[in-house]
């Protein structure tokens, strides 16, 4: 499933440069993750990089965007060729 950024986000920006899919952008009140681009870092890393660097643990799995590992791998291939 894609990740999302919760209200606990402190707008530090640590997550944005870590995303291999450029799925994270600055929003009006906090950073946001584009679920269509988020692959949980499947195909690039062993763990979600946004969650690894977030100092307040606001990058969490989004239950509204559940996907299998296979679906995430396919999405990664579409994004990166």
Q: What is the pLDDT of residues 59-69, one digit of tens each?
A: 999 999 999 99
Measured CA to CA, the distance from residue 32 to residue 6 in angstroms comes to 9
φ/ψ region of 40 (left if φ > 0, alpha if ψ in -120 to 50, else beta) reads left
Model confidence pLDDT, tens digit, residues 10-50: 999 999 999 999 999 999 999 999 999 999 999 999 999 99
In the predicted model, what is the mean pLDDT of residues 53-64?
97
Q: Show the tokens assigned to 14.
A: 């640590």
Strands (E), the chain: 3-5, 24-26, 31-33, 59-61
The candidate with the shortest Cα–Cα distance to 56, out of 24, 17, 19, 13, is: 13
Residues 48, 72: Cα–Cα separation, whole Å: 12
Domains of the chain: 3-80 (3.30.70.20)
In which band, very low, low, confident or very high, does the pLDDT at 1 lie, cut at 50, 70 and 90? Answer: confident
The answer to whether residue 57 scores a pLDDT higher than 90 is yes
């Amino acid at each position: 499933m894609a990740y999302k950024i919760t209200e606990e986000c402190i707008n530090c920006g640590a997550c944005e440069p870590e995303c291999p899919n450029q799925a994270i952008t600055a929003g009006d009140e906090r950073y946001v993750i584009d679920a269509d681009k988020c692959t949980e870092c499947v195909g690039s890393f062993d763990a979600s990089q946004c969650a690894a660097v977030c100092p307040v643990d606001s990058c969490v799995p989004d239950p509204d965007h559940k996907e299998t590992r296979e679906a995430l791998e396919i999405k990664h291939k579409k994004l990166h060729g």
